[in-house]
Amino acid sequence: MPAREPYPPKHHMLADLRIAILRGPGDDVRVAMPAAEELGNRAGDVGAAVIGVAVDVLGGNLALRAVQPDWCVTSTLELHVLRPLTRDFVVTGAPLRAGRTNVVLDVEVGDGDDAVGPAAVASMTFTRIPRRAETMPYREPEEERFGFGDEHSGLKVPFFEQIGCRVRDAAAGVVEIDVGDYVRNSVGALQGGAVVALVDAAAEAVASSRMVADAVTQDLQVHYLALGRVGPIRTRTAWLAGDEREARLRVELVDAGQDDRLVSMATVRLAAPR
């Protein structure tokens, strides 16, 4: 059997975002991420897409630790952006429940301004699955700080463009992305954080067509239904309610290479500052 390639590869979304996993005593695990101009949403802040990627990385680490020697897959991710995020940030969390069938996590995103509370909060649910012979081994990094990138990593263009999002119809919220190595997860499917990013890209596309300039994603909930392995993964978006300042959308992700198989479903609330 050929040797398994290390994950993630050097040229990967997580490397260019310069995400780092910080490990402290006991079960202390955090994810740190620097802010950069390329991460800005329509309002110029670090957007829900990027926050969702960092939340997914932390959640995956905490859940895998909790289910060893088994494995797990993401079932749901719910994110609430509480205030604009413009600085480097750290994601922290802990399991609320680690049972025989699932793991539920509580997550906070902070930028050092403890006086005003977290910039975002999230919750995640993971489904526990028995380990198989071909399952990727889980190894704890020995370093206190494990960075995915190196001195050559970093975003060269805005985040959505960097990961390959293509807007096909802004008003209808149709955006697609290829399932390439740059955005794959350890089992060869579209990475969970990239799913959140694609949902947010579809929401921002609709906002750019129908809403005021600073209306951005404030809340989203993603249900992971199946693995998007072939691609391109394409969004189908429905305007549920709202106006130019606040709206609610439903966003479905389908795998066009698997006869439009539904792989994820999300609800999104977009809003401009009051």
Q: Considering the chain, what percentage of its residues have pLDDT values greater than 90?
A: 72
Task: Specify which residues 253 forms β-bridges with.
Answer: 235, 264
265 belongs to a structural domain = yes
Tens digits of residue pLDDT in 123-153: 999 998 887 665 666 666 666 777 777 777 8
Model confidence at 2, pLDDT cuts 50, 70, 90, reads very low
Q: Which position has the token pair 């190894």? A: 139
State how many domains the chain has: 1
5 belongs to a structural domain = no
Cis preceding-peptide flag for 6 (omega within 30 of 0)? no
69 belongs to a structural domain = yes
127 belongs to a structural domain = yes
Interatomic CA distance for residues 140 and 271, integer angstroms: 40
Interatomic CA distance for residues 172 and 206, integer angstroms: 6
80 belongs to a structural domain = yes
Tens digits of residue pLDDT in 203-218: 999 999 999 999 999 9
What element of type H or E holds 128? strand 120-129
2 belongs to a structural domain = no
Residue 162: domain span = 13-149+157-271
1 belongs to a structural domain = no
User: pTM score, two decimals?
Assistant: 0.92
Average pLDDT of every residue of the chain: 90
- When pLDDT is averaged across residues 29-40 and rounded to a whole number, the result is 93
- When pLDDT is averaged across residues 182-189 and rounded to a whole number, the result is 90
4 belongs to a structural domain = no
Q: Which pLDDT belongs to residue 133?
A: 64
CATH number, domain containing residue 242: 2.40.160.210
- Residue 71 tokens read as 């494995």
